[in-house]
Amino acid sequence: MAKLEFVKFEKVSLKDHSELNEKWVQERIAENPGLLGLGDVALKDKERVQPRAGRLDLLLQDSDSNQRYEVEVQLGRTDESHIIRTIEYWDIERKRYPQYDHIAVIVAEDITSRFLNVISLFNGTIPLIAIQLNAMKYENQISLLCTTILDQTSLGLVDDDEEQEVTDRSYWEKKATKSTVAMADSMLELIKTFAPEFELTYKKFYIGLACDGSTNNFAVYRPKKKYVRLDLKLKKSEEISNKIKEKDFDLIDYTKGGRYRIRLSKDDITQNEEFIKELLQMSYNENGR
């Protein structure tokens, strides 16, 4: 195997570049939508005409679901007009095609703190993703690096953000069975191998997680009579979806709130502890710290 060599990349300002421009960036994303890190998405349209509202840079669609992404690209810093335009295009598309789940996406070289403050005023009512775009140059080659700064988690989940009526273990053992509630215990033991401070919390509609008294539901359990449903907060990826299917788990769906919903039997858990632990740890790394 050839020895790897360290090379130094130079960050390039696309806004100030004499040759590269916004259209060039749009073309690169259109050629390879995976650059944005949105999962297995495909280009649906570009420069999409909006009635009395200009053109939408890119429209992407998830290959495995009914999610669509309205993507606006801006070189330099985000500004108020760009935010308004992105949200306007998102609103037009969701009204024209209500059968899809629509997510607004802003791509810019500089996602400012002021932008994040403005977005917080929407109070989670608009599903929006902000992606910072960096152009990196090495000799006569250039590449684009995308980093998600704000995910659609601004939408929140009822499970995470609303007050839920507190119950106890006996409530769930009556609602489900002692055996299926114990399945939540077994998954908690897997979590404790990498995050020993977590404990189960018993709410009316689910069994959640808490760390030092603070709710942190990166995994949620809903015991039934014969199985437990695991709602796992993870960024969707084709690799994860395929691994879940390879284990022959009953994958119900992927929710708007960004969760895999998986129906697990006792045998599923006992025979696949290491894989379930891997999924839980991935979710913890993304959301639980």
Ordered by start, the domain boundaries in the chain are 10-155, 158-288
Instruction: Report the run of H or E that residue 81 belongs to, with start and end.
Output: helix 80-96
Strand partners, 61: 42, 68
Q: What are phi and psi of 16, to 5 degrees?
A: -100, 5
228: exposed, middle or buried (Cβ count in 10 Å: 0-12, 13-18, 19+): buried
Q: What percent of the chain has pLDDT over 70?
A: 91
What distance lies between CA 97 and its chain's CA centroid?
Answer: 22
For the chain, the residue count is 289
Instruction: Give CA–CA dist 250/226, Å, rounded.
Output: 13
Strand duo 141-150 + 198-202: pairing: unpaired
Q: What average pLDDT score do residues 68-92 get?
A: 90
| Structure-token pair, residue 32 | 């390879």
The model's confidence at residue 289, banded by pLDDT at 50, 70 and 90, is low
What's the confidence (pLDDT) of residue 157?
41
The residue behind tokens 């024209």 is 96
Q: What average pLDDT score do residues 115-133 get?
A: 78
Residue 142: CB atoms within 10 A of its CB come to 17
Instruction: Give CA–CA dist 228/208, Å, rounded.
Output: 13
Q: What average pLDDT score do residues 115-138 get?
A: 81
What's the confidence (pLDDT) of residue 73?
93
CA 279 vs CA 105, 168, 262, 272: distances in Å: 27, 26, 11, 11
Q: What average pLDDT score do residues 14-43 get?
A: 89
**3-class DSSP state of 138:** strand
Instruction: Give CA–CA dist 162/43, Å, rounded.
Output: 36
Does the pLDDT at position 113 exceed 90?
no
CATH class of 10-155: alpha beta
**3-class DSSP state of 8:** coil
Does the pLDDT at position 9 exceed 80?
yes
Q: What percent of the chain has pLDDT over 90?
A: 50
CB 35 within 8 A of CB 28: yes
pLDDT in tens, 140-182: 889 999 988 887 644 444 444 445 678 999 999 998 999 999 9
What's the confidence (pLDDT) of residue 278?
95
What's the confidence (pLDDT) of residue 13?
87
Query: Of the ranges 82-86, 176-180, 195-199, 255-259, which one carries the lowest mean pLDDT score?
Result: 255-259
Instruction: Please determine whether the domains at 10-155 and 158-288 fall in the same fold group of CATH.
Output: no
CATH class of 158-288: alpha beta
CB 288 within 8 A of CB 195: yes
pLDDT in tens, 36-79: 998 888 898 999 998 877 899 999 988 666 789 999 999 988 88
